[in-house]
A = this chain, B = another copy of it.
Amino acid sequence: MSPTEHTVKSFEAELQRLSNLIAQMGGVVEAQVEAAVQAVGRRDVEGATKVMQGDTRLDEFERQIEHDAIRMLALRAPVGVDLREVLAALKISADLERTGDYAANIAKRSIALAQLPVMRPAGTIPRMGRLVQEMLKDVLDAYIDRDVEKAVAAWHRDEELDDLYTSLFREVLTYMMEDPRNITPCTHLLFIAKNLERAGDHATNIAETVHFLVKGQPLTAERPKSDKSSFTIIEPVDSEG
């Protein structure tokens, strides 16, 4: 084997290792999101605590990926698709780490929720959770297979998630108005839903990164409309004002 071949081989091995780390980290994030959403539904304080503790593992993954990627940039000076590979790993690991933070925050809030009465709008949380999990799985598969079509399809599903969030937002507000005792649990529900909506944004970012990685240019289609709830005004039914 010539020295050049050796260098090439081993750069490919390094890229493969980086890719594997992302895939592994992605698997952990998927599991964290699933466990966090389950902890909400099952009022499972123990499960929630595990999710919160599991978050440090994701920080370690991110640090490892950053370390390896920066080392590769410095020592290998990759260009073209190789450069995009390393940059994509950096970006995706940041999005995954952030998604893990949202899972940990959901778990944290589920502990407060478990001490409070069950709220009807909570039924939308598992639906949002499933959608986020599917989006995450699809963008990670798209990354592993370098499959742009799959990435773009997942990217479009963010709109479904935003619609679920917007309808939950309206429902929660109405519910809060019915009884002041609903306000604290409903506020936690709102933020749990918001965390899932943001997790969807990060899956969308990953889809865009996969597009850039494979095609060498940004995804130019209009980004799915996000969070329509910011304009929402709900009035109490029996308002006198």
Interface set of A (CB-CB < 8 Å, partner B): 63, 70, 73-74, 77, 79-80, 83, 87, 90, 94, 105, 108-109, 111-112, 115-117, 173, 176-177, 180-181, 183-184, 187-188, 190-191, 194, 218, 227, 230-236, 239, 241
- Apart from A73-B87, A94-B94, A183-B236, list 10 A-B contacts with CB within 8 A: A63-B218, A90-B90, A108-B230, A108-B231, A116-B233, A176-B187, A181-B239, A183-B234, A184-B234, A187-B187
Q: Are A177 and B187 in contact (CB under 8 A)?
A: no
Stoichiometry, copies per complex:
2
Q: How far is the CA of A187 from the CA of B239 in the complex (A)?
A: 17
Question: Assuming the A-B contacts A70-B83, A83-B74, are A105 and B230 also in contact, with contact meaning beta carbons closer than 8 angstroms in the complex?
Answer: yes
Q: How far is the CA of A235 from the CA of B185 in the complex (A)?
A: 10
Q: Are A74 and B63 in contact (CB under 8 A)?
A: no
> Which chain B residues lie closer than 8 Å to A187 at the CB level?
173, 176, 187, 190
Q: How far is the CA of A108 from the CA of B232 in the complex (A)?
A: 10
Quick one: which of B79, B188, B233 contacts A115, CB cutoff 8 A? B233
Q: Are A231 and B83 in contact (CB under 8 A)?
A: no
